[in-house]
Amino acid sequence: MAKEVIHLTKVVKNYQVGAEIVRALREIDLSINKNEFVAMMGPSGSGKSTLMNTVGCLDTPTSGSYFLNGVDVSKMTDNQLADIRNKEIGFIFQTFNLLPRSTALENVMLPLVYAGVTKQERIKIATEALESVQLSDRMYHKPNELSGGQRQRVAVARALVNKPSIILADEPTGNLDSKTSVEIISLLEEIHALGNTIVLVTHEEDIALHAHRIIRLRDGQIDDDYQNQNIMRNSRKQVTA
């Protein structure tokens, strides 16, 4: 029986904008199992960013419940959510979110600092993560010395170091050219093949087609949720972004 990682029940998220209440999420029910590769899609204002923030423990629902690995995180404090994020969720962002004055190795080590891992162990784990994304020769380079694809691979390595329950990729190819986008999505496919659960937020149909399940949102509700019968796959013998 598949292990459930994400379980949302009747999740509502409302925002107050002036005198108006914006209903960003309207009673969302969603379950995602371990080792699923899911793409979330939807037009601007559909609620996909709000849902991503909820799943990523960056925000809490107005009402409803969210269980992550069987733990109710929907009513946690900001400090508790920060702890959950560091332990359970690996983030990959469109804008990379790397520290500009830190090397690739230092950027990848950062989640391990918050996790209280010793310096020697941090270096070992971060080095292995960078090797896994084929960046061992760029370990001591700073972000401005790396290409866009290399910076995103540093972000992927950083997302993996704490062995999280979920890899949450928010428009991970949004700032990349077509060739580099293919390399990054191929890397995500390899990570998924190793047993990781991936939730990919994208507006690009060709990127979403690499996922095994596609969820489409509209007006704060799940409009469609189906298994992808035409999964696109890339072969990546070596990334050379």
Domains and CATH numbers, the chain: 34-61+75-227 (3.40.50.300)
In this prediction, residues 196-200 reach a mean pLDDT of 94
How are beta strands 4-17 and 20-33 bridged, if at all? antiparallel
- For residue 241, name the pLDDT band (cuts at 50, 70, 90): very low
Does residue 235 register a pLDDT over 60? Answer: no
Q: Give the DSSP letter string of 55-117.
A: HTTSS--SEEEEEETTEE-TT--HHHHHHHHHHHEEEEETT----TTS-HHHHHHHHHHHTT-
Choice among 94-103, 146-155, 206-215, 228-237 with the minimum mean pLDDT: 228-237
Query: Mean pLDDT of all residues in the chain?
Result: 91
Token representation of residue 215: 């969820």
Give the pLDDT score at 234.
64
Choice among 25-29, 121-125, 165-169, 170-174 with the minimum mean pLDDT: 170-174
Q: Are 165 and 197 in contact (CB under 8 A)?
A: yes
Give the pLDDT score at 138.
95
Cα–Cα distance for residue pair 189/48, rounded to 1 Å: 22
* Residues with Cβ within 8 Å of residue 125, at least 6 apart in sequence: 109, 112, 117, 161
Q: Are 54 and 60 in contact (CB under 8 A)?
A: yes
